[in-house]
Amino acid sequence: MGFVPKFVRCFSATILLSAAFSLPRLFAEAPGQPGLPPPGLTRLGGQNYRLTAQALVPHGDQIRNDNWPPCNAPADDLLSKAAAGIATGVIANPALAILASVATQQLASQLENYARTQPGFLAELAAGNRKASCVPIAVVLPTGSTVTAVSYMDGDGDKGVHPCALDGNHWMVCGARWCGWEHLINVGTKINSGADQLVGAVFKNWSADRARWASLTVDFAAPAGWHP
């Protein structure tokens, strides 16, 4: 095995321990807003499971003459860099390959304090993105599983929750308006070990004054013999 930098080993341990200790709680965790699916892992029957991740996304700059403005932070880069970190972490800790967990918390908060003291992609995960109008929402799937369905929703406080759907421009727009998803997940994707295990999308909110809950649900068929 080649040299694995210390910060990557620590990252893999952080993901592993967080998932190991958080999964039991996630079964009973309440959604950020009533009406959204509860976050965490649910067994659907047989080897079929459902993972839901969610985060509160701050408001951005409302642009009335632009139906799909660009992100004010490279949120898609967060997904690719975190995936690269998981791929390297699997080399250092093969137990990562069997995880099924919500990764959004790590991307949004659990890595922040650690990342401030570390070089490389971990620092970039936290630096300057907490106030962005684009936030990555992601889960970690076990190696050998297959994505069978994906659901995107928004929560808009006193205005309720809404499904999101592709429009004529192939944008995943949400019922709350001035928000949607990009870098969408492909149903049918087979999950290989490493970077493929991080499955997510980017929620973008360009309301001028309303934060929105972003809720991502991924159904997957786990490989024979796998259990959480």
pLDDT for 174 equals 95
Number of domains in the chain: 1
Structural domain contains residue 53: yes
Please give the structure tokens belonging to residue 40. 């965490």
Structural domain contains residue 48: yes
> Distance between CA 79 and CA 100 in Å, rounded?
17
Q: Mean pLDDT by 10-residue block, N- to C-terminus, for the chain (228 residues)?
A: 38 33 37 87 95 86 62 68 74 75 58 44 41 74 96 94 92 92 94 90 86 94 93
Structural domain contains residue 52: yes
Please give the structure tokens belonging to residue 210. 């309303």
pTM flag (> 0.85): no
pLDDT for 35 equals 93
Residue type, 17: L
Structural domain contains residue 166: yes
Structural domain contains residue 227: no
31 half-sphere exposure, CB direction, 13 A CA radius:
21
> Distance between CA 167 and CA 61 in Å, rounded?
22
pLDDT for 66 equals 55
pLDDT for 57 equals 85
Where in the sequence is the domain holding 199, given as residue range(s)? 6-221
Q: What is the DSSP string of 106-147?
A: IIIIITHHHHTT--THHHHHHTTTTT-SEEEEEEE--TT-EE
Structural domain contains residue 80: yes
Structural domain contains residue 76: yes
